[in-house]
Structure 1
Amino acid sequence: MTKTNSHKPKTSTQNKKVKDSGARLIFGDPILCAQFLRGYTDIELLKDVQPEDIEDVTDRFISVWQEERDSDTVKKIHLKNQEDIDTLYLITLIEHQTKVDYDMSFRILRYIVLILTDYAAEAEKKQAGCTALKGFRYPPVLPIVFYDGDRNWTAAKNFQERTALSDLLGEYIPNFQYLVVPLSRYSNQELIEKEDELSLIMLIDKLRSSAEFHELAEIPDDYLEKISRDSPESLLKLIAKIIAAFLHRLNIPKEEIGDFTDQIERRDFTMLFEHFEAYDVQAERAKARAKGEAEGQARGKARGKADSILLLLSDLGAVPEALRERIMDETDMECLDQWIRGAARASSVEEFTEKYLPDLKEA
C-alpha cells in the first residue's frame, strides 16, 4: 500500500528506493501482474486470470503506519464463474532486503482490516444495513509476499504464531497465512521455460552483481525472439524501465544501461547479453582508488629510499644533477636497496656512479 496525501497515483520518480520502483512497476502493470498470478502463485482460482480482470485500488487506502511502502500494492481481482462472490482482493508486498520482516503478518492484518472496512462502507452505500444481514459475505483477501532477497524467508507466515498463548486461545485469535513467493526458488532454466515478459525481468532481478550478468549470455535465442516478437510496444518500454531500475542497483554506468534498454525498446534482442559489458562502476572506482593509494604508498617508499641514497652520497661530495634526477626517478625497490648499500660503501660519488650507473659517467 502506498502512503499518499491524495488520490493521485505516485510516479516512480517520487520513490526514493530504486528497487522499490522496479517492483512497483511490475505489479502496477496488469499484464505482468496477471503473468505473476498465473505462473508463480500455484493457486487454481488464479490460473486463468487476465489483465482485464485486475483493477488497481492501491490509492484508495492511506497508510496507517509511518514508513513509506511504495512497493506494496492492492488489487481487486474480478473472479469469473463464482456464485458466492465475484471479487478477490490481492495484497502484494515486495521484500528485497536480506533482512526478513518478522512483523509481516501484523502488517498484513492491518491491510486486511483496511480493505474489508472499505468494502463494507461501499456495500452500505449501495444497500444500507446489508452488512448486518445473515447472507452478507466479505470478499477473500489474498496476501502475497514476493521475496527476492538472498536469504531464506524465516518469518512466521501465520499471525497466530506471533501471538502469545495461541496454543490456549488459538480459536479466538485471527488465523490467516500469507503466501511467500521467493525468487530464489526458480532456476534460470525454470524462468526461461515460462516464456513470458515477466520471466525476463525475473532473470535480471536475480542478479546480485555485475559479474553474474555474463551468465545470461547462455539464454536461448528463441526465448528472446519470442518476447521480442509478441510483446506490445508499451510493455517493452515498461520492461526497459523496470530493468533499468534493477541494473542501477548493480551500479552499472548509465550509458551501459541506456544502450541495453534501448535494444529492448527497439526489439533488437540479437545477442542482447553477449555484448553488454555490465561492469560495476562503483567497484571499478574503488579498485582505481585502491590502486592509486597503493601506487602512492609505493612512490612514497621509493622517494624515501632515494632520499637516503642522496644523503649518503652528499657526504662524499657534490652530487651531479643528472645523477640526482636518475636516483629520484627510480621506483624499483630492489634496485634502490642495492644503491643504498652501494652508497654506504663507496669512497666517492664517482666510484658509486661508475659501479651502479656507468651510463651517466659516460654521458
Structure 2
Amino acid sequence: MKKTSQNKRRKNTSYHPEMHVRDVNSREIFKNERLTSQFLRNYTNIPLLSNVMPEDIEDVSKKYRAFLGVEYESDTIKKVYIRKPDGTIEREVFVLSLIEHKSDIDYDVAMQLLRYMCVIWQEYKVTQNKIKKSSSHNKDFRYPLIIPIVYYEGKRKWTAGLNLRDRIEFADEMEKYIPDFTYQVVSVNQYTNEELSRKHDEMSLVMLINKIQSAEDLAEFRKISEEIVDNIYGNAPEEIKEIYKKILWSLLMKLQVPGDEAQEIMGGIGGQGMGYLFENMDKMDIQAERRNTKREKERADAAEQQRDIAEQQRDAAEQQRDIAEQQRDIAEQRAEQMAKEMELMKKKVEEFEKSKEVH
C-alpha cells in the first residue's frame, strides 16, 4: 500500500471528540441530508428514490418522536419530495429508517415500524382535515406512502421476518384479516469492500468504516486503496468529515487504542487526511482485540455450557415429575382396587349374615 509522503505531514493537533467512547448512532449519520440522499439513491434499489437529492429531504423525526417517547430517539423519519422533470413537487413520501447503531437482530422491528406508520398517518389525517374539513371522509382521500427501511450493521445475517404478519398469530389461517407490509433491510455486510469502494460516495466510506468490528475486518479494510479512501474523505464537506472523525474515534476505542495514541491519530487525520490512518494502523491494538474476541468466545462457551446444564436439569426434573405422576397414578389405581375389594367383601359378609338369619 502506498504511504502518504512524510513531507506532507503537518504537526498533529489533539482531537477531543464530543462523543468520546459513545457509539455514533445512525441518527448522527442520517441527519445529514447529503449522506441520506446517497443512501436512498445508491443502496435501497427503490426506483422511486433513484433521483433524490439533498434538497428533496426534510427531517421530521422530532415531530413524531414526541408521540412515541425516548425509546425511539435513535430512529429517523424523512419526508422526501418526489419531483417532476421540471423540478416541481409531484408528491411527498415518508421514509422510515429504524437505524439505531444496530449490531444485532431486532425481531420486533416490524411492530416498531407499524407504530410509526400509524402515528404518521394519524397526524396526516388531522392536518388535512384542518386544511379542508372532513377531507379524510372523501372517497378520493389517500394517505401518504411510507417506505420502511432498517439499516443494519451487524455481522450475522438478518433473520427476523420482513413482514408484519410474521409477528401475528394465526397469520396463515386468518390472512385476510391481518394488516401486512414489508420492510427493507440494508446491511453493510451485504456489500463487499470492493463494491463499496466502487460506489465512491461519502456514504460508502461510512459503511466501510462501520464494517470494521474485529481485527479481521481491519485487515480487510487495509486492502482498500489508500488513494480511494483519502480522495473520498478529502472531497467531503466539513460536516461529513466531522461525522467520519466521530465514527473513527468510536472505532479506535473499540480496538482499545490508548487514548493518547488515538488522539494523535485523529489529530493527524484532521491535519492531512485519511492517509494518516493507514500509516498508523499498526498502533491499533489488534492483539487486544483478538484477546477480547477470545474472551468473548470463552464467555459464550461458558454460557452455552450453563444453558446445557440448565437444560439437563430441566429434563431431569421433568423426568422426576413424570415418575412421580406415574407413581401417583399407580397408587390411585391400587387404592381404587382395594376399595372395590373391600366393597365386595362387605357385600359377601352381609349376604352370609342374611343366610344365617334365614336358617
TM-score range normalised by the length of the shorter chain: 0.5 to 0.7
Structure 2 gaps, min length 5:
1-16, 293-359
**Does 2:41 match 1:38?**
yes
**Does 2:28 match 1:25?**
yes
Within a 5 Å distance, the mapping from 1:1-363 to structure 2 comes to 18-19=22-23, 21-62=24-65, 68-81=71-84, 86-94=91-99, 97=102, 99-210=104-215, 212-270=217-275, 272-276=277-281, 277-279=283-285
Structure 1 gaps, min length 5:
1-11, 287-363
Instruction: Give me the TM-score of the superposition, normalised by structure 1.
Output: 0.67
1:7 is matched with none
CA contact (8 A) 1:24 1:73 kept: yes
Question: What is the DSSP-based 3-state SS (H/G/I as helix, E as strand, rest coil) of the residue aligned with 1:261?
Answer: helix
Question: What is the DSSP-based 3-state SS (H/G/I as helix, E as strand, rest coil) of the residue aligned with 1:91?
Answer: strand
CA contact (8 A) 2:212 2:221 kept: no
CA deviations over 1:98-117 (Å, ceiling 9, x no partner): 54211111111101001111
Q: 1:256 to 1:118 in 2, by over 3 A?
A: farther
CA contact (8 A) 1:252 1:281 kept: no
Identity, in percent, stands at 34
Which structure has more relative contact order (CA 8 Å, sep 6+)? It is 2
Instruction: Give me the TM-score of the superposition, normalised by structure 2.
Output: 0.68
1:312 is matched with none
CA contact (8 A) 1:61 1:114 kept: yes
CA contact (8 A) 1:22 1:245 kept: no
Deviation of 1:74 after TM superposition, in Å, equals 0.8
Q: 1:263 to 1:130 in 2, by over 3 A?
A: farther
Q: 1:177 to 1:283 in 2, by over 3 A?
A: closer
How large is the Cα RMSD of the aligned pairs? 3.1
Deviation of 1:38 after TM superposition, in Å, equals 1.2
CA contact (8 A) 1:146 1:181 kept: yes
Question: What is the DSSP-based 3-state SS (H/G/I as helix, E as strand, rest coil) of the residue aligned with 2:65?
Answer: coil
CA contact (8 A) 1:253 1:280 kept: no
Deviation of 1:280 after TM superposition, in Å, equals 5.9
Question: What is the DSSP-based 3-state SS (H/G/I as helix, E as strand, rest coil) of the residue aligned with 1:266?
Answer: helix
Q: 1:16 to 1:94 in 2, by over 3 A?
A: farther
Q: Out of 57-66 and 182-191, give the one that drifted further.
A: 57-66
Q: Out of 240-249 and 70-79, give the one that drifted further.
A: 240-249
CA contact (8 A) 2:209 2:248 kept: yes
How far apart are the structure 2 equivalents of 1:98 and 1:269?
A: 25
How far apart are the structure 1 equivalents of 2:89 and 2:173?
A: 33
Question: What is the DSSP-based 3-state SS (H/G/I as helix, E as strand, rest coil) of the residue aligned with 1:68?
Answer: helix
Deviation of 1:65 after TM superposition, in Å, equals 6.2
CA deviations over 1:311-359 (Å, ceiling 9, x no partner): xxxxxxxxxxxxxxxxxxxxxxxxxxxxxxxxxxxxxxxxxxxxxxxxx
Deviation of 1:57 after TM superposition, in Å, equals 0.7
Deviation of 1:181 after TM superposition, in Å, equals 0.9
Question: What is the DSSP-based 3-state SS (H/G/I as helix, E as strand, rest coil) of the residue aligned with 1:61?
Answer: helix
Q: 1:112 to 1:215 in 2, by over 3 A?
A: same
CA deviations over 1:47-69 (Å, ceiling 9, x no partner): 11111111111111136667633
CA contact (8 A) 1:18 1:246 kept: no
2:349 is matched with none
Number of equivalent positions: 274
Code of the aligned partner of 2:284: A
Question: What is the DSSP-based 3-state SS (H/G/I as helix, E as strand, rest coil) of the residue aligned with 1:24?
Answer: helix
Code of the aligned partner of 2:252: L
Deviation of 1:22 after TM superposition, in Å, equals 3.4
Q: Out of 257-266 and 215-224, give the one that drifted further.
A: 257-266
Code of the aligned partner of 1:18: R
